[in-house]
């Protein structure tokens, strides 16, 4: 028989003398100091700072996914297999992502023969979302449910945003700068790991020559990566494990629970209703046996991504008006080009590369290219600027799209990905139920995702200003592409499906006003003393660049505020 604790059972447990508690109650209660929901780089930041800067705090991390590998939250691209064949990694990314909101499709099969069951209605498959309006959906938005989260397959690009991308962040600039430095160390960010690459140098110099008015914006991509000392042909990409550091040094102060769903944040109850400004426990479910239990703690962090975090708050009946609102997602323009012949022909005449090229042709005399097989890929960034308000990546990497396959030699291919901002609007949102549960209207209640939590539903549109900006962004990408080469057939300039950037911000935004933010500048949820949120959803701005470094920066401040809370609480007990 499955034992399922209800939130009210916590009150009974707390009010019952220890010797009178049932075996079920005793076996379904865990005690710790801090519970962290999630295991990505932001959750890892909270764990690292708390364990490192508090001498005794115990941290329990809860992850809904499994640990896919021996290294806790390691980047899967560190495998030699994928560094030798980057296009093979595309399938890893596709397998890792689970789409957030999928409207049901027409399931009527007119050619189905025999007496097989069918219907002339749209069938709501498990996990699909009948409440989703297709033209307001972020169709390609996905979640990675595994230890390490998105950091198991991310590109590791970690730019610092332009000042126009940090308008609403309530953390003062001087403090932000210090926190950004700490974030860079946690993520192990380096800007020069590809300087010895022939292709990187060719691409960067071509762009500097062709875009002279923007030469200050053309830089090496700041990446969370380090070239290996034992074999410089390979690199080590940063994952959640990089942020956590040597977790074994903390012994039993750190615990990781995998394939465990965080269901509710539980407050003390009075007459059947939650009361108070403190969370007392989290109710979790072991997904293997569907057993529920509580984890008691002094402080709680929810860092499950820009969708998962507000989802847990909503399911816990913590529903401030801004929750899920002010959502911003980036547009993506994408193309792939084959480098110009004249650029390739310059390689053997360059004295810096002559020896490498000669050694390559000696080892591989049938190769017509002047590029060694172990030459690292280009990693160039055209940064956001006032006149060109978008973020540009010129590189060769793996996404859930853009694999080259047998169409061309990958050494000749360069990917162009241009990311555009979205105007901030309170009406752009992800929701998990009707605004007024007593007046449901056309909203179909009780719809859940495949894990049994309230189904996320997007209501997102791009404004006229966004559309104009996207038009200019596309033109700029085509101009940049023409400097480098010709379009790879099948990868001509195109806008990708909404949500594919996976860079949603704003859904649990921090700020100084509870009317327009979910949490204060320290990421503590308004009206609660011991509840913090973390992740890209905390970013209150619309950004074009990758958000991870900023999310980690915000999380460092939040973790230190949590430590201060623990210290204050401990002093009050003596």
pLDDT of 574 over the 70 cut: no
Catalytic residue among 241, 264, 428, 546: 546
Query: What value does the mean pLDDT of the chain take?
Result: 91
- Asked whether residue 90 is domain-assigned, the answer is no
Is pLDDT of 434 > 90?
A: no
Q: Where are the alpha helices (DSSP H) in 33-172?
A: 41-53, 80-84, 89-96
Is 414 part of a structural domain of the chain? Answer: yes
Question: At residue 408, does pLDDT exceed 60?
Answer: yes
Query: Is 264 annotated as catalytic?
Result: no
Q: Residue 542 falls within a domain, yes or no?
A: no
**Domain membership flag for residue 81:** no
Residue 179 predicted with pLDDT over 80: yes
Instruction: State the average pLDDT over residues 328-347.
Output: 96
For 199, the domain range is 192-237+330-425+463-502
Distance CA 32, CA 285 (A): 17
pLDDT at 487: 96
DSSP 103: P
Strands laid side by side in the 223-227 sheet: 189-190, 223-227, 235-237
Task: Give the residue from 372, 374, 339 showing the smallest Cα distance to 85.
Answer: 374
Residue 272 placed within a domain: no
So what's the pLDDT on residue 103?
85
Distance from C-alpha of 375 to C-alpha of 199, rounded to nearest angstrom: 7
Q: Establish whether 120 is a catalytic residue.
A: no
Binning pLDDT at 50, 70 and 90, where does residue 1 land?
A: very low
Q: For residue 197, tell me if it sits in a domain.
A: yes
Could you read off the pLDDT of 473-493 as tens digits, one per residue?
Answer: 999 999 999 999 999 998 999
Whether the predicted pLDDT of 122 surpasses 80 = no
Quote the pTM value. 0.93
Least trusted range by pLDDT, from 58-72, 137-151, 272-286, 451-465: 272-286
Q: What is the pLDDT of residue 12?
A: 62
Q: Does residue 167 fall inside a structural domain?
A: no
Please tell me the predicted confidence (pLDDT) of residue 16: 62
- pLDDT band with cut points at 50, 70 and 90 for residue 141: very high
The one catalytic residue in 503, 520, 530, 536 is 503
Kindly report, residue by residue over 555-572, the tens digit of the pLDDT: 999 999 999 999 998 877
Minimum mean pLDDT range among 9-18, 380-389, 512-521: 9-18
- Any domain includes 176: no
Give the count of domains, the chain.
1
Per-residue pLDDT at 4? 46
Within 10 angstroms of residue 509's Cβ, the number of other Cβ atoms is: 27
Residues in the chain, how many? 574
* Structure tokens given for 484: 């480098």
Give yes or no for residue 453 having a pLDDT over 70.
yes
pLDDT of residue 445: 77
């Amino acid at each position: 028989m499955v034992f399922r604790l209800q939130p009210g059972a916590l009150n009974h447990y707390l009010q019952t003398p220890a010797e009178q508690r049932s075996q079920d109650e005793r076996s379904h209660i865990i005690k710790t100091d801090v519970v962290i929901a999630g295991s990505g780089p932001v959750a890892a930041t909270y764990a690292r700072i708390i364990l490192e800067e508090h001498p005794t705090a115990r941290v329990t991390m809860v992850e809904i996914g499994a640990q896919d590998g021996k290294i806790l939250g390691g980047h899967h691209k560190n495998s030699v297999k994928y560094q030798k064949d980057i296009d093979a990694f595309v399938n890893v990314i596709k397998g890792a992502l689970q789409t957030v909101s999928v409207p049901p499709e027409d399931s009527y099969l007119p050619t189905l023969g025999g007496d097989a069951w069918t219907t002339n209605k749209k069938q709501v498959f498990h996990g699909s979302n009948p409440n989703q309006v297709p033209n307001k959906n972020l169709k390609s938005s996905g979640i990675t449910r595994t230890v390490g989260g998105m950091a198991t397959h991310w590109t590791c690009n970690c730019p610092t945003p332009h000042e126009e991308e940090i308008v609403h962040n309530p953390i003062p600039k001087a403090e932000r700068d210090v926190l950004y430095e700490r974030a860079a160390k946690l993520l192990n960010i380096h800007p020069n790991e590809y300087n010895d690459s022939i292709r990187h140098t060719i691409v960067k110099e071509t762009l500097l020559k062709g875009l002279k008015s923007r030469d200050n914006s053309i830089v090496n991509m700041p990446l969370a990566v380090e070239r290996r000392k034992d074999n410089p042909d390979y690199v080590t990409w940063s994952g959640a494990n990089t942020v956590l550091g040597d977790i074994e040094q903390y012994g039993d102060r750190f615990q990781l629970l995998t394939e465990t769903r965080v269901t509710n944040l539980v407050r003390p109850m009075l007459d059947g209703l939650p009361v108070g400004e403190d969370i007392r426990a989290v109710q979790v479910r072991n997904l293997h046996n569907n057993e529920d239990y509580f984890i008691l703690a002094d402080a709680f962090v929810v860092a499950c991504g820009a969708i998962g975090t507000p989802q847990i708050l909503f399911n816990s009946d913590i529903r401030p008006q801004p929750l899920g609102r002010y959502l911003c997602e980036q547009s993506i323009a994408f193309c792939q080009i084959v480098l110009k012949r004249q650029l390739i022909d310059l390689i053997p005449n360059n004295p810096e590369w002559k020896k490498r090229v000669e050694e390559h042709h000696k080892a591989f005399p049938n190769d017509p290219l002047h590029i060694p097989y172990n030459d690292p890929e280009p990693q160039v960034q055209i940064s956001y600027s006032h006149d060109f308000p978008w973020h540009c990546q010129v590189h060769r990497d793996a996404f859930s799209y853009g694999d080259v396959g047998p169409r061309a030699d990958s050494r000749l291919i360069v990917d162009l990905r241009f990311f555009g901002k979205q105007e901030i609007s309170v009406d752009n949102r992800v929701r998990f139920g009707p605004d007024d549960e007593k007046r449901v209207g056309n909203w179909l209640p009780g719809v859940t995702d495949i894990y049994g939590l309230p189904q996320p539903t997007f209501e997102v549109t791009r404004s006229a200003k966004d559309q104009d900006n996207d038009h200019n962004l596309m033109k700029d990408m085509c101009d940049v592409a023409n400097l480098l080469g010709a379009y790879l057939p099948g990868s001509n300039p195109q806008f990708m499906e909404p949500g594919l950037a996976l860079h949603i911000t704003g859904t649990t935004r921090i700020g100084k006003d509870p009317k327009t933010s979910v949490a204060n500048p320290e990421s503590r949820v308004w009206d609660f003393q011991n509840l913090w949120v973390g992740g890209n959803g905390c970013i209150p701005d619309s950004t074009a660049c990758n958000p991870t470094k900023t999310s980690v920066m915000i999380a460092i401040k939040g973790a230190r505020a949590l430590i201060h809370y623990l210290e204050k609480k401990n002093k009050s007990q003596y």
